[in-house]
Amino acid sequence: MDEKAYTPDEVAQIFQISKHTVYELIKRGELQAFKIGNKMRIEHTEIERFKENMKAPAKKQPAEPTSAGSNTNLPIRLSGSHDFLVEHFTKQAGKKLDMQIQPSFIGSLEGLMMLYRGQCDIAAIHLLDPASQEYNLPFIHQLFVYEKILAVRLAVREQGFIVAKGNPKSILDFSDLTRKDIQFINRQKGSGTRFLLDSKLSSCGIAPSKINGYDNEEWNHLSAASYISRGIADVTFGIQSAASHLGLDFVPVAKEQFDLVFRFTDENQQSLTDLIQYLQSASFKNSLQDLEGYSIQDLGKIIYQTTQTEELV
């Protein structure tokens, strides 16, 4: 009998994640798929293999008691928004602490939901609540009631329009995105950048259907900005550092708070404590360079914690 094969929609329902996350897992090679014509399919055995890999860290026996400053050697899973400082932090902390850190850049909302479901240890987020115009904390308060949660400020970032050098089409505000001669490239649903963009469009009374390319999505800032550098699109909405990486121009629009949310368990408690202490250290701050578009004045500041975490950090 032929083995059952599933569509990305069906896999998304099985794991209770978005279809976009399934495609990202396939893109990164974490989930193997094959094509029939132009349709993607995933075999049942591959789904079972992926399930076992997700369970693997929890199956390990608790490590023997260790001295302060050491870790249990369990891999730490970070999910959420893509950012160059997050990439730098995971690499530097991994080397400094001899720790395995597994980043998965799938967007702020999906990262926070994975943290809520216990499928990762850290979420990297910048989510604007449209009602309060406050970043991150409204979402944390809604999702986490009994868990051991601690949120730490990483940076304040500049978001705005990424355009070609010299801004040849004079793109200065959101109304310019509706012009017939403008081609836009968007970020995926669930990303913090998409949250901010949609909030700004709503406040300006601009319908997404008026923007050419609104439905064309990319999964990180650099990929979206590359459309501009290749001349495929005229503008995207993203962070200043992505524009700088590709020699593009940047029109600032807003500043946002980018935070790391840690969820403590018995297995990861020592590792997360070590990571937070390193994030707050002078050593890490001194390692940061080329910070155009970032403010790290509050780097390492604890902005929220539950009573259960007060004695940990």
Distance (Å, rounded) from C-alpha 306 to C-alpha 313?
12
285-298 pLDDT per residue, tens? 999 987 899 999 99
147 CA to centre of own chain: 21
Domain coordinates of the chain in residue numbers? 5-55, 72-313
Please say whether the beta carbons of 129 and 108 come within 8 A. no
Residue 277: per-residue pLDDT: 97
Q: Taking each helix axis from N to C terminus, what angle separates 19-27 and 8-15, rounded to the nearest 10 degrees?
A: 110
Residues 6+ apart with CB under 8 A from 52: none
162-212 pLDDT per residue, tens? 999 999 999 999 999 999 999 999 999 999 999 999 999 999 999 999 999
Please give the CATH topology (third level) of the domain spanning 72-313: D-Maltodextrin-Binding Protein; domain 2 (3.40.190)
Please say whether the beta carbons of 111 and 122 come within 8 A. no
What's the predicted TM-score (pTM) here?
0.79
Q: Is 60 exceeded by the pLDDT of residue 70?
A: no
